[in-house]
Chains A and B, each alone.
Chain A
Amino acid sequence: MSFLELEDVQTYYGESHVLQGVTLDVEEQEIVALIGRNGVGKTTTLRSILQLTPPREGTIRYKGEEIGGKDTHEVSNDGIGWVPEERRMFGYLTVEENIRVAVKPDDDFEAQREYVYSLFPALDEFSEKEARNLSGGQQQMLAIARGMVGQNELLLVDEPSEGLAPMIVDQVVDALETASEDTTMVLVEQNFPLAMELADRFYLIDHGTVVESGSTEGVTADDERIRRYLSA
């Protein structure tokens, strides 16, 4: 039994058949990268796991339990965190309030806050600042921190390096590596070298289905099986 298992997941947006039978599995403490061109279904795979866009067919098991059909907040409360594309901060809330929203009501907020501030000291410095006034890199830190609180054991991370300067990307990589010490991670990332650097294994998605998979060890963008699907 894997930590997370997707089996023949079929997801639609209206009549548009986006995921056409995605099957993959993730082991505990692994980082698994989903790679592929724009619009092939990577983000939809994450949204399907969270039941934000519930699949019409197929099964999704998390720690052995079928989570298909649950509400998103129930899936989240099972321990699945989300670091969405474009970060989606609550811009008019402070950094601390953004973290407060993510901490489960029964959890110790003080302890959770200290935990994320110890991982990301820069956030402590800006704790009273509204999130919309943070830089892109700071917002990404906050998005990762927000995904990590709430006792999450699985983190779904979508395009963490998008729109960030190279120097800031290095900080984000450090943050993700820190996060991965405590959580299992599914990473969607357009930056191929970055995805290979961070992940243990990869799944290459094309037209809503997995076309290649394997260890990231030694894989480069020049690899023929990768180049065929990633080139425009």
Chain B
Amino acid sequence: MSASEPLIQVNNMTHGYKMAGESMTVLKDLSFTIDFGEFVAIIGPSGSGKSTLMNMLGCLDISDEGSYLLDGQEVRKLSDNKLAAIRNEKIGFIFQSFNLLPKLSAAENVELPLIYRGLSHRERKQLAHEALVKVGLEDRMHHRPSELSGGQQQRVAIARAMAGSPPILLADEPTGALDTRTGHEVMQMIQELNKQGHTIILITHDLEIANQAKRIIRIQDGNLVEDRRNAR
């Protein structure tokens, strides 16, 4: 938990799929570390393995080989329920297609991870309210996703991701489904969250978006081909 230790430590991560009887390696011997408070963009063309890498970093899947230390904990050895707890407490997900539950209101969507964390009704309401205020949607709290614009939906998703104050925000093409202007707004919000101390991992194929990060990791054919600091 000490700040001197990296938040994320990936060593020799290798992963493959079997497709139509043919096995193919998607991640090849990846190793890198990410510290607390960083803003990292992982970029690569489609099929480069960046989505698989995101699944691994987000504890949605477990790699075949290598090790993945998250906050000093070896993820590969954990049970499904422990992984769920880690996703709940340490990672906030922001998806390209928002992934809000259509039957729940904005506030209920934001509360959802807090329910699974086992917080009391009052705490949940308060945290959800605070998060929605932060993304500027306090007047849209009881609207359903279908009553919100794309940009507003993504802001709800951001509120959901950060309501429980997880150390890591994992954003998968967060602007992919938005127009340029609202995409820009969303990116500003993510920048702001980084300034507040959240570690941001941004997965994108868009170099322009990636350039807003402080560090860029480039993946190609499952290999790490570039890891550079962005001197903005």
Q: Do A and B interact? A: no
Could you tell me which B residues sit within 8 Å of A by CB distance?
none
Could you tell me which A residues sit within 8 Å of B by CB distance?
none
